[in-house]
Copies of this chain bind each other. A is one copy, B any other.
Amino acid sequence: MELLPLLDAQSVEPLYSQLYRHIRGEIEAGRLRAGSRLPSVRKLAAHLGISRTPVEDAYQQLLAEGYAASRPRSGITVQIYEPEFSRGFYRTSSAEPGRKESPRLVLPAKKADPSIPVHAGEKTDWIDFSYGDIDLSHFPFPLWKKLLGSCFSPDHRDLFRYGDPLGESGFREALSDYAYRARAVICPPERIVVGAGTHHSTEQICRLLQRTPYSAAHSPIAVEQSMSDGIAAIMRQHGYRLVPLRLEPDGIRIEDLYDSGARIVYTTPSHQFPHGMVMSIGKRRRLLNWAADVGGLIVEDDYDGEFRYAGLPIPSLQGLDAAANCVVYMGTFSRALAPAFRLSYTALPPALAIAAKAALHPFDRLASPLHQKTLELFMAGGHMQRHIRKMRSVYQRKMAALLAAVRRCLEPRFRVSGGGAGLHVLLETDDGRDEAQLIRLAEAAGVRVYPTSVYRIDPHRGESASILLGFGGLDERRIEEGVRRLADVWKR
């Protein structure tokens, strides 16, 4: 037994997190080699004199991050690891969500209410699986109102002016801390730029790159073959050509990236949009190697990184970038809080942060200083962490209800992709019907579901139809009802 972690049962850091960190450290230090087998949960628990649960949780996290792999009959084995990536995990004080908020993914689904009519009549009782919707029923309205109201004092008069083009300094300090705790982003306040949503942050980045070797004149942007249409439109508007990279189950095909000739890549490693895969630690490593090889720049869009349901959130790519010089990280509060505050942020590498001070014209100040201050106060009071934990468990239950309903009613004809994180999944089928047919059938049953072909960058059409279902704004009963209606009209 090679594993001899010093576990401290008195620590604020949960046992599973201590164990996870220890094993990860051993892998990173090369003492646990690729291919070597980890002890079984039962054995390690007995060896350490602790219960099985923390061991299971630690293994789950290592699996989720790609440090280990699980294969039938060979148990859990260590994956290839290269030592330059020995940084980048969040403080343990925020590593608590694991236990209470991460029960097994599939909860027993509540029995659907038969009083809801399956088919809509004249006045359609729509069930809308729209992507952008979030659950506001748990938003702390009274607290937010109080904090926002506290800005209306004579001391805070400056909050009513234009504010700092890069974002309010207090807010940027809070963001630096939050990004580290929640997403393992390592970035001092001076290198953070506040935006009015991910699209605006994308614009800021494009503007910033204009007078650098990463301008549209110097390089196209390599992108995942399916991506946010809005972000693609903004990049094109700034003159960039987009080169699609094929997607594999663990993220973009790195060979395609080398072949692309691009020096910039845009990616959603924590939860690919829209397909939902997570980029493995191996791919992340290879992606950072690519950047080192070609002097490349990686734009990491972490649009819903807060909502991963199995184990801890996957830490950001930015935090793995030991030299902190090739990743531009974008985070947003449109999903974690609410879109109406129009707040996002970008963590820049040092060279670009210096350029930003000169290049970002005051006209880029689009985020309201009042909303910035309110979120700063919300974070300072420790409310943000609590809110994210709460919402993670809310969305996890919804996701579980959706997955259970799909299993019950739609499998095996339809497969789910992207069920481990975020507020949407894809339903895929090879039964010969295309997107448009399936969407039309759904509409006839009073259900709105969405196409994914609109997100494709390459002209190539997949053989299987792929339908997007967002569930953030629906409660569990409606989710189940919606899937039942789909099963009814989609059966052959």
Contact = CB atoms under 8 A, between A and B. Distances in A.
A152 B162 contact: no
Interface in A347-392: 361-363, 365-371
Interface in A133-150: 133-134, 136, 139, 141-142, 144-145, 148-149
Interface stretch (A182-190, A193-201, A401-409): A193-201
Contacts of A141: 152
Contacts of A362: 230
A136 B157 contact: yes
Contact of A196 (B148, B149, B207, B366): B366
B363 A199 contact: yes
B340 A370 contact: yes
Given A230-B362, A366-B197, A237 B207 contact: yes
Interface in A204-233: 207, 230-231, 233
Nearest to A233: B361
A200 to B, nearest CB: 6
A362 B200 CA distance: 12
A161 B340 contact: yes
A339 B162 contact: yes
Contact of A161 (B233, B339, B363): B339
Nearest to A198: B363
Interface string A146-165: 00110010000101111100
Count identical subunits in the complex: 2
Contact of A339 (B132, B160, B200, B339): B160
A144 B156 CA distance: 14
A342 interface: yes
A338 interface: yes
A129 to B, nearest CB: 16
A301 to B, nearest CB: 13
A451 to B, nearest CB: 16
A200 B364 CA distance: 9
A234 interface: yes
A300 to B, nearest CB: 19
A341 interface: yes
Contact of A230 (B152, B160, B231, B363): B363
A379 to B, nearest CB: 18
Nearest to A342: B368
A132 B162 contact: yes
A205 to B, nearest CB: 14
A157 B162 CA distance: 27
Given A161-B340, A339-B160, A144 B136 contact: no
B369 A366 contact: no
A234 B134 CA distance: 33
B339 A230 contact: no
Contacts of A231: 363
Instruction: Kindly name the residue among A132, A142, A363 whose own CB sees the greatest number of chain B CB atoms within 10 A.
Output: A363
Nearest to A145: B152
Given A196-B366, A230-B362, A145 B149 contact: yes
Nearest to A372: B340
Contacts of A368: 340-342, 368, 371
What are the 8 A-B residue pairs with the smallest beta carbon separation, nearest first?
A: A199-B363, A230-B363, A160-B338, A145-B152, A162-B339, A160-B340, A196-B366, A141-B152
9 contacts: A142-B152, A144-B152, A145-B152, A161-B338, A162-B340, A163-B340, A200-B366, A207-B237, A233-B361
Given A160-B339, A160-B340, 11 more contacts: A136-B157, A136-B160, A149-B149, A160-B338, A163-B339, A163-B340, A197-B363, A197-B365, A197-B366, A341-B368, A342-B368
